[in-house]
Structure formats: structure tokens, C-alpha cells
């Protein structure tokens, strides 16, 4: 699976409010940084799950569009 396909799957899972499918996109040692969250840097699956659960509980209607994609084989934005 390409990195872009992984990102699009992640955003689709968010739109469907499917936390398990969201978490399937991350390894146990993943790090997510998003300044819009109460805790901007989420390290590891437990912290990421907690942050994404907060997001899904607080978003009225999640929806995303990819405008630009960057990936280097190990990281992406």
C-alpha cells in the first residue's frame, strides 16, 4: 500500500468515525503531532488512541481533503 493510500484510508476512517480503522494505520511506537489537539505530540498507540477519541468525540462532522502530500518512505505530512 502506498503512503498516500494509507493517508486516504486514515482520513476515510476518521470521516466514518471508525476509531479501530484509524488505529490500524499506526504502529505501536508511532508519533503523531497536531497542534490542534489538547496534547499536540502523541507518542505511542495509547496516547494516539486517547487523542483521536477526543477528536472524534468533539468533531461535529469530520471531513478531510488532501491538498498536498509529502512522504519520504518513513514519515509523511
Indicate whether 54 pLDDT > 80.
yes
Q: How many CA atoms lie within 13 A of 2 on its CB side?
A: 6
Q: Which of 11, 16, 13, 22 is nearest to 51 (CA)?
A: 22
Q: Would you identify the CATH topology of the domain 3-58? A: Nuclear Transport Factor 2; Chain: A, (3.10.450)
Cell of 58: 468533539
Q: Which of 30, 43, 39, 5 is nearest to 13 (CA)?
A: 5
pTM score, whole prediction: 0.81
Question: How does pLDDT run across 18-43, given as a tens digit for each residue?
Answer: 999 999 999 999 999 999 899 999 99
Amino acid at each position: 500500500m502506498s503512503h498516500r493510500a494509507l493517508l486516504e484510508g486514515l482520513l476515510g476512517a476518521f470521516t466514518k468515525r471508525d476509531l479501530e480503522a484509524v488505529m490500524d494505520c499506526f504502529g505501536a511506537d508511532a508519533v503523531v503531532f497536531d497542534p490542534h489537539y489538547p496534547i499536540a505530540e502523541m507518542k505511542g498507540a495509547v496516547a494516539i488512541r486517547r487523542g483521536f477519541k477526543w477528536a472524534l468525540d468533539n468533531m461535529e462532522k469530520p471531513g478531510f481533503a488532501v491538498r498536498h502530500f509529502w512522504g519520504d518512505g518513513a514519515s509523511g505530512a
